Amino acid sequence: MDAYSQIIHHAVEAAGKSVVKIERLDANRKVTGTGSGFFFSSDGYLFTNSHVVHKGSYFNVMLHDGSVYPATLTGEDPDTDIAILKSSAYDFQPAQLGRAEDLQIGQLVIAIGNPMGFQHTVTAGVVSALGRSLRSETGRQIDGLVQTDAALNPGNSGGPLIDYKGEVVGVNTAMIRGAQGLCFAISIDTARMIAAELMKNGKVSRAYLGLSLQQITLVPKLRSGLELKNKSALFVTGVENGSPAGKAGITDGDIVVSFNDTPVETSDALFRQLDRDKIGQFQFIRIIRQNRLVELRITPAEKIAV
């Protein structure tokens, strides 16, 4: 094989045995949907998408060797499209989790899924954008997305997005309707945070601001002129009506650079600060507007899962 093919082959070999097909069953044990998932711990916990398991009564997981095991739902978070299942399976190799904050635009990424039960469907592409906030087909906003041109289909939902080392950098989610050639994954940094909450409490309580964001690189001249430590920041592409961000006066085109005096260069860095302790308590958010730094007071509200 050529060098490029060898990279992909070795990455898939490293992560492939963690990938499973997931069947969602109703109360009558009838299959009502399928998707992909992957083990991330040696004791049987696995990641998938919330929309893959939503409203299911029972679940089965099919491993790389065709064996099938039951699984139970630990919890799901529709706002990030992340769910955690627990299976009694034992002959698998958990995936190694990487760090999405180390991703660079243009970097090689590989999507693995199990669509329609076919083993290890693999597609490759590059990171097209980072820190995206977009609305899913249900109208729910999903934050901290990695955009890639690695082809996905609904059967790939819940499978891993891996780097050249075979480490997971995202959880694939179905294509956004109407966005031809644009595919997305929830960053693994976001997924880790959600997993910790789901495994501890079975649900996620978080503060939210009501912003749609796009990670951008700050030009050196602007950084120097405003004496910023940030190399990147978050461009505001939308503000929800009546949201905490709207009430604080944030508008489209603003650039978020810090939250409570802590620089934020990625969506994950911002979301890590929006824990339950911030709900109902005013905070300070600093933005760039018309090449000037502006500090606003903002009071995060509780994000209610649907």
Given 18, 50, 79, 81, the catalytic residue: 81
Q: Is 102 marked active-site?
A: no
Integer Cα distance of 177 and 27 in angstroms: 30
Contacts of 204 (CB under 8 A, 6+ apart): 75, 77, 79, 80, 194, 197, 198, 305
Q: What is the pLDDT of residue 131?
A: 83
Least confident segment among 34-48, 51-65, 114-128? 114-128
Token pair for residue 280?
Answer: 């109902």
Q: What is the pLDDT of residue 236?
A: 95
Q: Is 51 marked active-site?
A: yes
Q: What is the pLDDT of residue 116?
A: 57
Q: What is the pLDDT of residue 287?
A: 97
Integer Cα distance of 150 and 230 in angstroms: 29
Given 50, 87, 133, 157, the catalytic residue: 157
Q: What is the pLDDT of residue 167?
A: 97
Strand segments (E) across 82-231? 82-87, 108-113, 121-135, 141-148, 160-162, 168-173, 183-187, 206-208, 211-217
* Helical (H) or strand (E) element with 304: none
Check whether 271 has a pLDDT greater than 90. no
Given 18, 36, 50, 51, the catalytic residue: 51
Q: Which residue has the tokens 């990171």?
A: 127
Using alpha carbons, list the distances in angstroms from residue 194 to 1, 79, 156, 272. Answer: 39, 10, 20, 10
Burial class (CB in 10 A: 0-12, 13-18, 19+), 305: middle
Percent over 70 (pLDDT), the chain: 92
Q: Is 81 marked active-site?
A: yes
* Single-letter code of the amino acid located at 199: M
Q: Is the pTM of this model over 0.95?
A: no
pLDDT digits (tens, 9 = 90+) for 131-181: 887 766 556 677 789 999 888 876 788 999 999 999 999 999 865 555 556
